[in-house]
């Protein structure tokens, strides 16, 4: 489905870009992107703009690497992009991704910027293993972006019927 057609609900599912290893004495939460990760984040943001993809609301994990993945979206898609940070995208289970993504709100398109294994597990739960493994046969890559369209508004306990509109990685965006 081209970006110009409007589904009832669109979910953008973005795994953070490649991160540096934790420094000695550092913690996982504070890991920044490495140089390749910064390039991945920029490439995905630019590809979204080129394809006309623009979520109404971006919800990102509070971890440094997710915040740094989300920032190019604001620069590329517009400073007025509604970007919020949610702790449970870092610390919560996969089920929290559904609760956050499909919470009742006025937005018809939401982006989650999160972590594996939750992103990959959520992707599989939405589409089923066969389609998910065809789209991402080697696992959900860093800075991988799935665009999932729904014909009706999903809820955190009912989100079947999604279509994979697009799956973009930094390698396919160039």
Q: What is the pLDDT of residues 134-155, one digit of tens each?
A: 999 999 999 999 999 999 999 8
Would you list the DSSP string of 70-128? HHHHHHHH-TT-EEEEETHHHHS-HHHHHHHHTSS-S-SEEEEEE-TTHHHHHHHHHH-
Reported as a pLDDT band with limits 50, 70 and 90, residue 162 is: very high
Q: CA–CA separation, 118 vs 125, rounded Å?
A: 10
Region 7-33: mean pLDDT is 93
pLDDT of residue 34: 97
Which domains, and CATH codes, for the chain? 9-173 (3.40.50.1240)
Q: CA–CA separation, 100 vs 72, rounded Å?
A: 22
Residue keyed to tokens 């953070």: 16
Q: What is the pLDDT of residues 52-109, one digit of tens each?
A: 999 999 999 999 999 999 999 999 999 999 999 999 999 999 999 999 999 988 789 9
Reported as a pLDDT band with limits 50, 70 and 90, residue 24 is: confident
Q: CA–CA separation, 17 vs 67, rounded Å?
A: 10
Strand partners, 15: 114
Query: Which residues are CB-contacts of 137 (< 8 A; sequence separation ≥ 6)?
Result: none
pLDDT of residue 174: 56
Task: Report whether 147 contacts 135 (CB < 8 A).
Answer: no
Tokens of 48: 């979204």
Tokens of 52: 């006309």
Report the predicted TM-score, pTM, of the whole model to 2 decimal places. 0.93
Q: CA–CA separation, 45 vs 92, rounded Å?
A: 26
Percentage of the chain with pLDDT > 90?
83
Whether 172 has a pLDDT exceeding 60, the answer reads yes
Reported as a pLDDT band with limits 50, 70 and 90, residue 1 is: very low
Q: CA–CA separation, 17 vs 20, rounded Å?
A: 10
């Amino acid at each position: 489905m081209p970006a110009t057609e409007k589904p009832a609900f669109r979910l953008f599912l973005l795994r953070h870009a490649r991160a540096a290893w934790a420094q000695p004495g550092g913690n996982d939460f504070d890991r920044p992107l490495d140089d390749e990760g910064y390039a991945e984040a920029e490439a995905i943001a630019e590809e979204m703009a080129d394809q006309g993809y623009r979520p109404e609301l971006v919800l990102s994990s509070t971890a440094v690497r997710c915040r740094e993945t989300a920032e190019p979206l604001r620069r590329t898609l517009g400073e007025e992009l509604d970007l919020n940070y949610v702790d449970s995208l870092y610390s919560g289970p996969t089920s929290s991704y559904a609760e956050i993504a499909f919470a009742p709100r006025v937005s018809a398109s939401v982006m989650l910027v999160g972590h594996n294994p939750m992103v990959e597990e959520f992707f599989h739960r939405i589409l089923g293993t066969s389609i998910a493994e065809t789209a991402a046969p080697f696992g959900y890559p860093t800075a991988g972006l799935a665009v999932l369209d729904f014909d009706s508004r999903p809820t955190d306990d009912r989100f079947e019927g999604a279509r994979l509109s697009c799956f973009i990685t930094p390698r396919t965006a160039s």
